[in-house]
A and B are shown apart, each in its own frame.
Chain A
Amino acid sequence: MNDNMPADDRKLKIKGLTPEQKQKIRWELEGDCCHEISPMQIDAEYIAPDSLENIYASNDLCKLQNTSGPKGSYVNRLRSIDELLERDKQREKDGFPRKIRVGRLVKPRKGDKEKIIVVPTTVEEKFLHEKRLSPAEDEPSGGSGRGEEGEVIHEQPLHDPETQGGAGSGQGDGGQHEMESNAYDLGKILTEHFELPNLKDKGKKRSLSRYTYDLTDKNRRFGQIIDKKATLRKIVETNIILGNLRDMRHIDPTGFLISPSDRIYRILSREKDYDSQAVVFFLRDYSGSMLGKPTELIVSQHVLIYTWLLYQYAMQVESRFILHDTEAKEVDDFYTYYNSKVAGGTRVASAFRLVNDIVEKENLAADYNIYIFHGTDGDDWDREGQESIPELKKMLTYANRVGVTIAEHPGSAGNETEVEQYLKKSRLLNEKPDLFRLDVMQEDADETRIIEGIKALIS
């Protein structure tokens, strides 16, 4: 990144940026960040495992009798979730805010990108003391044994799989009661209960190597189900030939002969099925300015979109993940996509260009419905969108939907961000509302807002 600096410096001068913008860019450039993969934990909640025993967490059943918490599977709960979401809808009608949250969603593990943790939670709101005032250090706990004051007695890696797993068992009430679900189920919930739209136009139907079995073939003499109409017809036919049916006005079926081969049956047969398929590009700005909330927001939203598409296309979704700062690169899995740390400057066009390249090179447009979702905080060094807009226009020629999410920093409220400005200026939003959507939210948006955002992007 440091290699870029002189060139960038030049650019700064040429473009005549405002001091603020310069500072912003400098901050992105000079920050000592790099794109390493950060540990899975995203927020303080995850960082604080329950390894520190809490006074109230322990209980007789698990302490004395070694009983682990009850294990209820995801499926057990699903029906009640249905009811609960129904209730939630009713709440809204009654004028109270919704209460069920899908909760923290994303915790993809490496090499297992189908697994997503769903935590449908609800909070009972009460007046409650904030526990921590400073985030720098945890609440102190108790300890016993040797060690001088100030001595470090134990080290725990930030990313400690052992403190992550083991949903609920033996954790008492402090434990993480999570439900694992595959992305498909989550997509189902999202679609059905958060009223995300169903895809109306599933695009061009294409043949896949998928088969269904159906009672479509006919067979004489034997089979699964007798086809009465066809059999009757056949019998009549046979008897006409035999001459048992001379007078059309006085048909006497008792005189009919029935040959075994007159019986027509339906039998199971393999049918080639037709279905649509999709490829979805997730683009994430991982420049330095994306640190913190914006990234969290964007990835959460992307997971939700991903699950929704997965459901809509009955698992026939291919996903591609692209990260960009000033350069764009494709990463293999959601894990890397999700966990790569932010650093560097911002050039939105680079990501768009990479998508266009991939689509062209792999000839994706011919075979797939293409969805592109881009998440950013709205900063772009290319302030006028001189590079981005042409790339975007190119994308719109083949994509089924391009959705851009901007997670604004709190300071920028009121002022439109650069990306927002040039997108609006380009008038693409008005010209192609069915292809291109923009959603701007504050970086502290909650989950409801995220889902609203998805609706805006995909409906």
Chain B
Amino acid sequence: MELIDQHTKKIMEGCKDRARAAGLCFEDETLEYIVTNRDLLELTPKVMIPTLYDYWVHDVEILKEKGRYELYPGNPYETVINTRPAISFYNDNNPDWLNVMIFYHVLAHIDFFQNNHFFRHTWDDDFAGQALSDKRFIAKLRSEKGRWVDYVIEFTRGIDNLVGYHGDLSRLNRPVQKDGSKRLDYYFDVFLQSVKNVKIHEYMKEIKRFNECIAMYGEFGEKMFFSNIVKKYPEFEAFFDRHIKENNNGNGDLIQFLIKNSDVLRKDDNRWMTSVMHVVRKTSLFFQPQIRTKIMNEGWASYWHETLFLKDDRINGHEVDFARINAGVTALPRVGLNPYALGMRLFQNIENMGNKGKYDWEFRKIEDVDIRKKYNQNTGKGKELIFKVRNDFGDFMFINTFVDQDFVSGNKLFVAGRRLNSAKMIWEYYVKSRKAKDYRQMLIDSLYHPPHIEVDENKCGDHALYLVHHFEEKPLVKDLIANTMMGIEYLWGGPVHLETSEVVSVPETRNNVMTSAFSPPQQKEIKEQKVKWERVVYTMENRKISKKVL
């Protein structure tokens, strides 16, 4: 891997100036590397992070499994890496004009990384640097503990898609709350009502007394108020502390819970394992926002490379070349989803609608189709709006908010279905629906969404770990349950239960067997059957799995 030459770097710096002038916002330093096929061979298993820790699965990674992206949130061919400074990768034979286009695309990505709030937790650190120290740390551990390091990595990676990304994120963006008012909240909201069960008039009396204290002592009012309470309820502080402990931190995600509560990991000999688990968790957290903003991120980058490239005076004469490449990137496919095309059109649409004032309350009140169509306030606020969207939205919100019927109809979008025509032995692709509602749902269904699994402490009991998979009309992939649970059992050191939902299996008839794997499923009139669900509990104990229907 080597850096791009000075000539190309100069082009990049020119792009930075123009991008900044257009309103994009990113740090000065960036690193651009030329990658060869050989580099890619080494980089792709490491999700393009050159300093990622070594792990043997990276060496084999010849994966052909379905749901690949569900397993790995990082795109193995990511071009721009969200580090400080941001790193990006290039072919060594790109012509200058193409580099201009790619640089704009890259800069928009960097702008997105450094401004979108889903990336908040990555803003303060350089991931590449952290990863390097983690890599060295793990290498050192490996020389001491041997393969057991890899087992811990493996088992932790088994649950690294359950990281509490949103929890961490919300904590980062939460306004600071003073301890004092928390105490007050607890006293009035929980302690008096749930613990002491006081009568309403007593409760009112306390409120009155509090107001008096504030009035009399000003900022010391609260202190005075509580000094009396301690006399009346000596146990209050203890209750409050326990409440804080229970609610404040929670137990975090599964990895954090294990680190905190596992008997195995608490042993002195095993403390090192928790450090490895931290590394795996941190790595997973790093990739979480990326996969949750794929459409937006690519859309944003495509929007800007198109906008900025066409204005760039350095590329005169290459408009046609650009048009060809750009069409390849941002054309809507006849069938399939292209995040570049979709995201870019959404941003363009939002800007357009914003300019006309169509997101204003005034417009929403209008019901007349004709007036709606012609409505244009020339507010000029479109740009501002898309920057705001870039700051605050993730893919789900983006789609859920902005994919409306106008957008779907305007771009001639539809939900495409594929079915087998066994008479002709062909797959038929057909237009399934042109309704915005269906299109939106299809998009949302195709978004990354790991299962929601939490520890239920009330059901844990002695030494056991009880996991609950919240029902979202999707069963877990059965093949993977046993080994994942075995990994958790190893880290937990006791039996592990997993409560989940499964489709009640219908007794198979011979005809059903016929439609199974070997011959292509035969086209039949399949009636919309209501899927029946049942709750089941898997138990992993001593590396043996068993299942019980609840």
Contact = CB atoms under 8 A, between A and B. Distances in A.
B158 A55 contact: no
Given A67-B91, A173-B77, A155 B516 contact: no
A362 interface: no
A61 B77 contact: yes
Given A71-B37, A127-B484, A119 B429 contact: no
Contacts of B483: 97, 125
A71 B21 CA distance: 40
Given A119-B62, A128-B477, A173 B76 contact: yes
Contacts of A38: 518-519
B439 interface: yes
A137 B414 CA distance: 17
B69 interface: yes
Interface in B443-475: 443, 445-451, 453, 469, 472, 474-475
B77 A59 contact: yes
A214 B149 CA distance: 50
A156 B336 contact: no
Contacts of B432: 140, 149-150
A94 B151 contact: yes
B62 A143 contact: no
A131 B518 CA distance: 20
Contacts of B98: 65
Contacts, number: 354
Nearest to A293: B517
Contact of A142 (B67, B443, B448, B482): B443
A7 B114 CA distance: 79
A103 B521 CA distance: 23
Which of B418, B469, B523 gathers the greatest number of chain A CB atoms within 10 Å?
A: B418
B3 interface: no
Given A125-B487, A152-B429, A143 B334 contact: yes
A323 to B, nearest CB: 14
Interface in A31-68: 31, 38-39, 41-45, 47, 51-67
A141 interface: yes
A140 B426 contact: no
A153 interface: yes
A440 interface: no
B158 A125 contact: yes
A172 B77 contact: yes
B518 A342 contact: yes
A366 B526 CA distance: 57
Interface stretch (B52-60, B171-179, B266-274, B361-369): B52-60
Given A61-B89, A178-B64, A127 B526 contact: no
A291 B66 CA distance: 24
A292 B519 contact: yes
Q: How large is the interface on A (under 10, 10 to 19, 20 to 34, 35 or more residues)?
A: 35 or more
B78 interface: yes
A130 B301 CA distance: 32
Given A55-B447, A63-B340, A87 B56 contact: yes
B413 A142 contact: yes
Given A155-B428, A292-B517, A129 B475 contact: yes
A100 B154 CA distance: 13
Contacts of B121: none
Interface stretch (A77-85, A194-202, A218-226, A239-247): A77-85
Contacts of B418: 52, 137-138, 140-141
Contacts of B391: none
Interface string B526-545: 10000100000000000100
A144 B334 contact: yes
Given A59-B78, A130-B475, A122 B60 contact: yes
B387 to A, nearest CB: 22
Given A64-B79, A121-B62, A152-B430, A133 B531 contact: yes
B430 A126 contact: no
Interface in A290-348: 291-293, 295-296, 341-342
Contacts of B201: none
A71 to B, nearest CB: 6
Given A123-B480, A178-B64, A63 B328 contact: yes
B70 interface: yes
A144 B89 contact: no
B79 A61 contact: yes
B338 A53 contact: yes
A292 B513 contact: yes
Contact of A27 (B445, B481, B498, B510): B510
A261 to B, nearest CB: 57
A94 B63 CA distance: 25
Interface stretch (B122-130, B159-167, B244-252, B255-263): B159-167
A145 interface: yes
B71 A124 contact: yes
A255 interface: no
Contacts of B336: 51-54, 141-143
A60 B77 contact: yes
B425 A138 contact: no
A177 B484 contact: no
A130 B418 CA distance: 19
Given A41-B520, A62-B77, A126 B63 contact: no
Contacts of B344: none
A179 interface: yes
6 shortest interchain CB distances as A-B pairs: A53-B336, A143-B416, A60-B79, A70-B40, A59-B77, A144-B332
29 contacts: A47-B520, A55-B339, A56-B339, A65-B90, A70-B41, A83-B56, A87-B56, A90-B147, A94-B151, A95-B543, A103-B64, A104-B64, A125-B483, A126-B70, A126-B71, A127-B480, A128-B67, A129-B476, A130-B475, A136-B515, A140-B418, A142-B415, A143-B415, A147-B414, A152-B430, A153-B334, A154-B334, A157-B426, A291-B519
Interface of B: 37-38, 40-41, 44, 56-57, 59-72, 75-80, 89-91, 94, 98, 101-102, 105-106, 109, 147, 151, 154, 157-162, 291, 294-295, 298, 301, 325, 328-329, 332-340, 342, 411-421, 424-434, 439, 442-443, 445-451, 453, 469, 472, 474-478, 480-484, 486-487, 498, 503, 508, 510, 513-521, 523-524, 526, 531, 543
